[in-house]
Structure 1
């Protein structure tokens, strides 16, 4: 699957890596270190049945800042992202709108690419759809079945299936691997039991050994897309297995950061980690980083609620994508917040002040080493990727209270490289 164009990211004098991030799995701030000068990142991608909304953009823009911070430290970045281009919500939306599910997925993925390009998000190194990874999914589910960690559940009569579904056995995985239920998402059992059916789980499914056991392989039903499943029989993958399979084949084990919205803590990241660890005995990621939810009028913004602020719609209305980026980075990545038009207007004014300050800055020769502004911004970002503090630093710079000796070209390059905001 093709990604989107890479924005020009200015090269800065490298500063030593000094990053702490809040890790969901350990419920605290921890130092994050790359290995062999390479940082590795997996951020779960979209299910392309509707356009990119502000909540999506919030996640991808904040992880873009993480990528830019690593680049400014002189590191190589191996960044992987998926597209869940086969899943129940996609099929349901396609059926409801009378559009072929493949066409819907491609249309919405194209729109996502356009939005990410407009927001100047650095694309992943590897960008893969679930459909193109199905042979690898089959391989891993077969491996889990051979190890006794996947088991068959008969499909109810009347659903048109001739083979069984396969589920992941939580108890068997806990007995055989270092993974434990709740070790990633940090929820206790009662909380997981409440969340599971709200996020695609099927706790009432007859034949399951544990209500929380997740689906690995769905046997082909009449009228549904299907692929060769080898010994599993024809069908299609469950949700969580696709990310564990993609990450395992394109990132080191364990990789540096697993990222996504906080709604992915459980069950998605919990079971992606479980599947990968059960398949080869190695933890999936070193650090789990989850962005906050974006709401509208006090409610979570979501496709199911229909209360979406679409990036494409804002762009059509003439909103500068750089102002959208400023709005997003004005909130800490862990923060839950609610969108207002007034806050967007404030972000537009803030961006204009920075651009005015850049236009009025003196033009001088480039400094031999890092500028004061670079030190200040990287110090803010190194402390739990504190983008709001970085933007406050820009306010001080624009008001003439710091880094007065920074030339126009230095300021423009530093802000562009670290925050992805173009002040030209």
Structure 2
């Protein structure tokens, strides 16, 4: 951790403690993941690790909320910290808001049919009620989601994440009402766990941001609900799960991704980030990683989880000062050292994803020898040496790419992982480079 912290950041000692806690939880999580190979992380060990990680991250989030309220130029999604407001029951008391009303607004899906200007709701300060009332998402009732998931039965549970339990359900694709299991449209239902402090603030952030955006490379948020101490988020179903699952978990139903599919996934993810970074949206994802890149049945990749997202710097500001949030291994070094958040933090995270796609290795893996535990540190010297790039490449896809492709993707990865943020490309530039790589291969 850097010796000198930005003067705008309050509580540097607390931040170092929180960062150490997150580092520890990530290492525990990485170890347990490496020992389990279950789809969506549904083993008891992985579930336990997820809950430990969730609690630690939420503690960090509460520190951030405490200290950003007085100095942030962007909108806090909640005036309460997570520790002060860990539950959802107060939503039922919101003035003028009836969460029991399950009627569909328009078609239940909200997209951006026009460009969002910098003065849009993404940046405009809003109260909690205004965020929920302005959303055109479907307001589900608890009864509807209970029916859609067959009463949240164990055989509907597909895993756990930092927010809570993840279930598969079914609804009518036109009316958005529950249907018999296996009929009409599959959905993903996330239910916040009572023992998880990651809750209301992240729930509202997801609704505020992802609820307004519609793009082929962003997961669709269909609706939400609140019941007593639980918050719910309803998404489109992504049939092939996460990129993390395909690269690392070795589940029985996950085939090794080909080089062609890996480069398609990289391009799709880059397009999603480029949309977020554009002037019309102006968001920093802040948690770019393989587990937040989901694949549909045709291997189309979509970014998920905007729960940690922040508005980018406004006006002449060069950065946003925040508590360090994100996933260990994917967070840019300058953000860890200073708390100064820019879009280049996402670019660094994307570079880590590229490296994982190339190598088929986790960014952090305790099962590796000491010198190979940290993938970025191990791989960077190899990537800058044309003769040694092949040592980084995943042996499972050997022969599926040309030497030119190997060198080019290594060069792009090194650019994204540059220690100097200014030397990293923008996501628009990454999209163009990856499209060119794909076009020249086709030619």
State TM-score, norm by structure 1: 0.29
Under a length normalisation based on structure 2, what TM-score does the superposition of the two structures give?
0.28
Tell which structure's C-alpha radius of gyration is larger: 1
Say which structure is richer in strand. Answer: 1
Structure scoring higher RCO (CA < 8 A, sep ≥ 6) equals 1
